Amino acid sequence: MQQQLRLIHSINGIECPCGECTLKREHPLTHRQWEIVNLLSQGLTFKEVGVRLHITMGTVKSHVNRSDGILASLEAKNTTQAVATALRKGLIS
């Protein structure tokens, strides 16, 4: 049952980065958003994140700024706040 729920949530774009949680409220980020926040927390620029993930800098910015992006999901005004919130919530370490 847990595996089926995980698949359903994955299809809906709300798979938890840890692979254990199945509810969006437990982990408000998609896996890709989690990857981006994690790399930003390491001090990488948008361009460096893009290179590391094999996506464009524009795609990184889109993941951060769109209406369902990182800033909105973490209720942050900027990437520094987003990283701080992700750390506080235990989404990244």
Report pLDDT digits (tens) over 8-21.
Answer: 444 444 445 555 55
pLDDT band, residue 93 (cuts 50/70/90): confident
Q: Which residues contact 91 (CB under 8 A, 6 or more apart)?
A: 17, 27, 28, 29, 34, 37
Instruction: Give the pLDDT confidence score for residue 38 in this predicted structure.
Output: 94
Q: Are 34 and 92 in contact (CB under 8 A)?
A: yes
Contacts 24+ apart (CB under 8 A), 34-37: 34/91, 34/92, 36/60, 36/63, 36/64, 36/70, 37/70, 37/74, 37/82, 37/83, 37/86, 37/91, 37/92
pTM for the predicted model, two decimal places: 0.72
Instruction: Give the pLDDT confidence score for residue 20 in this predicted structure.
Output: 55
The CATH number for 2-88, chosen from 2.60.410.10, 3.10.580.10, 1.10.10.10, 1.10.600.10, is: 1.10.10.10
